[in-house]
Amino acid sequence: MEATLAQNTDRRIGVLLAQLGTPDAPTPAALRRYLRQFLSDPRVVERNRVLWWFVLRLLVLPRRPQRSAALYRRIWSPDGSPLLVISRSQTLALDAELSRHEPDRFKVVLGMRYGSPSIASAVRELVDWGADQLLLFPLYPQYAGATTGSTYDEVFKQLSMLRFVPALRVVPPYYAHAAYIEALAQSVREAMTPLPRPPDKIIISFHGIPQRYVDSGDPYASHCEATARSLAARAGWENGTYLISYQSRAGREPWLRPYTDETLVGLARTGARHVMVICPGFVADCLETVDEIGHVGLKQFLAAGGETLQLVEGLNDRPSWIAAMTEIALQQLQGWR
């Protein structure tokens, strides 16, 4: 049943769509700025701050921007970073859908935790527009301290500097929300339609985090597992036809296992020739999907004996995902006058 809001033209509701971020350009200088901000966040790198300050500036920032810039150049479009382009499209679509329910009451603005447009600029834009109620909508379905928690920190920080602080609500993690799961299942159905045969295995790949974070109480792994179970049930996959893995690990300490790259190689070596990969944690295609899976992962799979890797496109601005976003937002705004 479609959610509705009580009519009240005296209140303006600002919706802050929060995404992780992207560099401004695929250049070493832009990557250096982006990585300095990203890797300086204590939520992202939980290490001794003094020691990490030296490691970051003496070892990481002099080397990594060059390599990362080369990767971003492979996916950069004429309009810019795919993550930013898609996130802007999601913002416009959600704004249109909410305004269709109540014209002139909503304004949806995009804010990046790292990079531009910043969360600070998004908060300022909403406040200047006259929002006295604010809904924070993180674009991370599964909670992780390094993403969701860090975004909360930044939004609270920006609001703390205001004379008048709008009333605030936060969309909770929606890792098993029926509308989100249905949008994922629909994207899989569309990806499977043109295939001449079903894949030998379906890999549900999530961004990894250090195992230590989960051991300390981060619920991320349990959220990912719940998403995978819900998606498999909605799509009608039998046990054994799919598996969960984690990608994008960095450094030497153990991260959540199994690792996606090792999983791809292992499947190929044990006879799987055709695999499908879906990345439910990324609601917009980005470096980690287009390049890490669609390019690097494909090469690893082929080199180990595989034949085809079908990457399911992200939810992006699919109508089913925009409808899901609208439903999730309106549910959180019930009774807000």
pLDDT in tens, 46-74: 999 999 999 999 999 999 999 999 999 99
Residues 45 and 159 placed together within one structural domain of the fold? yes
- Max Cα separation, the chain? 63
**Residue 187 within a domain:** yes
Residues 187 and 300 placed together within one structural domain of the fold? yes
Residues 6+ apart with CB under 8 A from 154: 113, 119, 120
**Residue 81 within a domain:** yes
pLDDT at site 337: 53
Low-confidence ranges of the chain (pLDDT < 50): 1-9
For the chain, where are the E strands, in sequence order? Answer: 13-22, 106-115, 133-138, 167-170, 201-207, 242-247, 274-278, 308-311
Angstrom CA distances, 102 to 6, 9, 179, stand at 10, 9, 21
Residues 111 and 20 placed together within one structural domain of the fold? yes
Residues 245 and 285 placed together within one structural domain of the fold? yes
Q: Is 274 left (phi over 0), alpha (psi -120 to 50) or beta?
A: beta
Residues 170 and 291 placed together within one structural domain of the fold? no
Residues 239 and 300 placed together within one structural domain of the fold? yes
Q: What global pTM score does this model have? A: 0.93
Dihedral sign from CA coordinates of 60, 63, 69, 74:
negative
pLDDT one-digit tens code per residue, 284-293: 999 999 999 9
H/E run at residue 314: none
**Residue 6 within a domain:** no
pLDDT at site 4: 42
**Residue 87 within a domain:** yes
Residues 150 and 214 placed together within one structural domain of the fold? no
Residues 251 and 296 placed together within one structural domain of the fold? yes
Residues 238 and 207 placed together within one structural domain of the fold? yes
For 215-326, where are the E strands, in sequence order? Answer: 242-247, 274-278, 308-311
Residues 227 and 324 placed together within one structural domain of the fold? no
**Residue 3 within a domain:** no
DSSP classification of residue 86: H
Residues 32 and 166 placed together within one structural domain of the fold? yes
Q: Return mean pLDDT, the chain.
A: 95
pLDDT at site 97: 97
**Domain tally, the chain:** 2
**Residue 7 within a domain:** no
Q: Which domain holds residue 73?
A: 13-174+318-332
